[in-house]
Amino acid sequence: MINEEAKEIIENNPVAFATIDHDGHPNVIAVAYVKVADDKNIIITDNYMQTTKDNILRSPNVCLAVWDKEWKGYKIKGVASYYTEGKWFDFIKSLPENKDCPAKGAILIEVSEIIELQ
C-alpha cells in the first residue's frame, strides 16, 4: 500500500496529523521524524503530545497529510495504536532523532487508505 515514492515523501517532510476530540471536533498538529514501518504501517514518536494522545486513546481514527516542495503528496487514513512499551516503543527510543527528546510513546498507524494529492 505505501510505495517507495510515498515513503520518501512521508519520511522527508513535515506531516499534518489529525485526530478527533471527545466532542467530535478535529485537532491537527505538525510532526517530524515520521517513519514508515512497513507497507501498511507508519510510526510517529510522541515527544510532547497531550491532546493528540488523549484523542487517540478515545478514538483511534486518524488522518495524515504530507507533501513535498513540488506539491507531490498524500492523504493517509488509518487507525492509531499508542504504545509505552514493547517493540514499537523500543523502536522509537532507538531513533537518533529522539536522542535528546523524551520519546514518551510510539504511535503506530495502520493505514487503511492512501490517496495521492492532486
Is 70 in contact with 6 (CB distance < 8 Å)?
no
Mean pLDDT of the chain, nearest integer: 97
118 — pLDDT class (breaks 50, 70, 90): confident
CA distances from 83 to 57, 73, 113 (A): 11, 27, 22
What is the count of structural domains for the chain? Answer: 1
Across the beta sheet with 61-67, the strand order is 26-31, 15-20, 61-67, 73-83, 105-117, 41-46, 35-38
For residue 81, pLDDT over 90 is answered with yes
- For 89, the domain range is 4-117
Q: Would you mind telling me the total number of residues written for the chain in this entry?
A: 118
Cα 58 off chain centre by: 17
What is the CATH classification number for the domain harbouring 71? Answer: 2.30.110.10
Q: Which residues contact 54 (CB under 8 A, 6 or more apart)?
A: 21, 22
- For residue range 85-104, list pLDDT tens digits in order: 999 999 999 999 999 999 99
Distance, CA of 81 to CA of 89 (rounded, Å): 11
